[in-house]
């Protein structure tokens, strides 16, 4: 079975995904931060990727069934959802690589880089095959330019929630020594 530390980290990731369910600025959620957090602290590479992706999927299930769906209709997937899941998984891998040792500078760098990764991947997907943008380099550039405000919110969300997750975990580790061990 899993250690109390692993369970604590998994619960923190699942709770972090709830930020998508409360009113927020576009892309100002904990998704990137929780993927980095899982990558940094879960020793099982499988769990480090699967838990954040599952957390996003579960929050999608709630959002799409309660907010976007018509009464009596269940919509579990939205266009481009798979790119969100892939970018979440890649952000977890980024956390595994960049945050082998956790410090403020590395968390900030990984938070910004994961936001850029999410932005690049999901906006490429928004452009590819789109009727909204010309399928040219200019159309691709237009899709990236149109999404720049979302990049800013994603960076701010990653930094804010990264501070809460990583800082909170550091403080919890001081209070509860079992949490202070390197990997769960």
Domains of the chain, CATH where assigned = 4-180 (1.10.1760)
Q: Give the whole-angstrom CA distance, residue 92 versus residue 109.
A: 14
Return the number of other C-beta atoms located less than 10 Å from residue 65's C-beta. 13
pTM of the model: 0.89
pLDDT score at 179? 83
Q: Please identify every stretch of the chain with a pLDDT value under 50, giving residue numbers as ranges.
A: none
pLDDT score at 48? 97
């Amino acid at each position: 079975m899993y250690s109390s530390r692993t369970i604590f980290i998994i619960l923190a990731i699942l709770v972090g995904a709830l930020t998508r369910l409360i009113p927020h600025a576009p892309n100002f959620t904990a998704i990137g931060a929780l993927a980095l957090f899982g990558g940094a602290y879960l020793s099982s590479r499988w769990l480090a990727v699967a838990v954040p992706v599952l957390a996003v999927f579960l929050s999608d299930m709630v959002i799409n069934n309660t907010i976007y769906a018509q009464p009596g209709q269940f919509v579990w997937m939205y266009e481009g959802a798979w790119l969100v899941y892939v970018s979440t998984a890649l952000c977890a891998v980024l956390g595994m690589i960049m945050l082998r040792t956790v410090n403020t500078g590395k968390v900030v760098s990984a938070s910004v880089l994961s936001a850029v990764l999410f932005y690049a991947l999901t906006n490429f997907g928004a452009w590819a095959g789109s009727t909204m943008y010309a399928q040219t380099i200019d159309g691709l550039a237009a899709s990236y330019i149109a999404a720049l405000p979302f990049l800013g919110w994603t960076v701010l969300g990653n930094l804010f929630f990264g501070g809460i997750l990583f800082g909170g975990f550091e403080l919890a580790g001081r209070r509860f020594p079992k949490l202070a061990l390197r990997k769960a």
